[in-house]
Structure formats: structure tokens, C-alpha cells
Amino acid sequence: MGQVNLSVAAKPAASVHRTAAADSTHYQHGASTGSTGVPMDPELVAVVYAEPRDEATKAAVAAVVPNSTTPRSEATIVQKGMRFIPSVLPIFVGTAVNFPNEDDMYHNVFSYSSTHPFDLGRYRKDEKAAQVIFDQKGIVKVYCEIHEFMRATILVLDTPYFTVTNTEGKFQLDNLVPGNYTLTAWVNDKSVWSRPLDVRAGESAMLDLAPETSTKPAP
């Protein structure tokens, strides 16, 4: 269990883009909007993940969850109310992600990220887009070509130990194999903090993550 200090995270600039298709009359019922007429940015959360920091721990984890470039599971980012939900998604390497459109309008999901560039083309609610399999570790920034204020981030991780905090920064990681890890909290590209985590059999730990711990590059 632990706590990430989200109050000190660098907040990205608010979305101010507006396109012709983003007129308020096009919004789904219940979509929240700011004064710019576009959906408000979601509240901050953090992705927390534990990576083995020595070969013995790597081997122990690999014995439990073998690394594979074939999909081990599926995940979903929904387009609804002209937003990506969730806006931050951590996945294990090899996971297939679906991008269903639940809006009564066209969307076009794409990414130019070097980790895994893709473009699903324009499609409507009654059309199914192709799955995208993310087989390389890294960060994938996702956008809509039609609605430029829509954005999401996928963290492709090569560790099975990850979770997303609530909006208060609280998190819990369970069932870690005993060993030595680096625990990292990713809020955005400018707020990434880490600290050592040593897991012993039968023990639990309460950990806090904030800038005073350390800063590391994004995955």
C-alpha cells in the first residue's frame, strides 16, 4: 500500500483546442465541458509499477509471468463524450487494446509514438476498429485526428506489477514475488518518481512517492 503526492505533480496545460465538430451541440448527454466548449481534462492519477532491479528478482518474476510478445490479455479505451476513457492505461507488453467508439460521430484514433505508431482511420459507433497489439515497452500518446483535444496515454510495461492510483494518490500492489524492485510513480512526462522497494516473504510495506524520493526517465 502507499500514497503518491499528486498535489505536487506538474499539471499539463488545459485543453483549449476547438474544431467545428466540437460544437457543444455535438456532445453526448452528460459530458462535462469547460469554458472552452471542450470536455474538461480528467483528474490526475498516477500509474505505479514495480520493476526488478537485479537479475535474481528478474528470474523469479519471469518464472511466474513469462515475458511474451503474444497477447496475454486485452484492454479497452472507450471513446465517449468526446473523451478517451480511461485517459491513462498501463498494460503488460503483448496486450491487445480495443478502441470502441460510443459517440454518435466519427472518431479517428492514432499515435505517432515511436513505441508503436498506428492509425485506425475514421469509424462510427456501429463500426469496429482493429485491435492494436503493443509488443514493445514504452509510452504511447494517443489522439483523435478529428477532435484534437482528445488525448490518452498508454504505458506499455515489461513488469506484471502495476496499478493506477485513485484521485487521492492511494494505491496497492499485491502478490509481488519476494525480491528487490524499483517502485515508480508516473503521473505525466514531467512527474515521474521512484524509490527502492525490497519485498520479503510474508511482509507488507507502506510507501510514499513524491519528488523528494527521486526522479527517473519515463519507461
Q: What is the DSSP string of the chain?
A: -EEE-GGGSPPPPPP----GGG-GGGSPTT--B-TTSSBPPPPP--EEEEEE-SHHHHHHHHHHS---SS-S-EEE-EEETTEEESSEEEEETTEEEE--B-SSS-EEEEE--TTS-EEEEEE-TTS-PPPEEE-S-EEEEEEESS-TT-EEEEEEES-S-EEE--TT-EE----PPSEEEEEEEEEETTEEEEEEEEE-TT----EEE-TTT-B----
Q: Which residue has the higher pLDDT, 34 or 81?
A: 81
- Whole-structure pTM over 0.85, yes or no? no
Segment 161-190 mean pLDDT: 92
**pLDDT in the model for residue 145:** 83
Q: Which residue has the higher pLDDT, 218 or 148?
A: 148
State which amino acid sits at residue 192: V
**pLDDT in the model for residue 209:** 78
Segment 148-168 mean pLDDT: 92
Supply the range of the domain harboring residue 177. 2-209
Please indicate, yes or no, if residue 108 is contained in any of the structural domains.
yes
**97, pLDDT greater than 70:** yes
Q: Which residue has the higher pLDDT, 22 or 107?
A: 107
Segment 80-98 mean pLDDT: 92
Please indicate, yes or no, if residue 95 is contained in any of the structural domains.
yes
Please indicate, yes or no, if residue 217 is contained in any of the structural domains.
no
Q: With bands split at pLDDT 50, 70 and 90, how would you rate the model's confidence at 219?
A: low
Please indicate, yes or no, if residue 186 is contained in any of the structural domains.
yes
CATH of the domain at 15: 2.60.40.420
Mean of per-residue pLDDT scores for the chain: 81
Q: What pLDDT, in 10s, does the model give residues 11-41?
A: 655 544 444 344 433 333 334 444 445 666 6
The residue behind cell 481534462 is 41
**pLDDT in the model for residue 208:** 80
Q: With bands split at pLDDT 50, 70 and 90, how would you rate the model's confidence at 10?
A: low
Tally of domains in the chain: 1
Please indicate, yes or no, if residue 188 is contained in any of the structural domains.
yes
**pLDDT in the model for residue 22:** 40
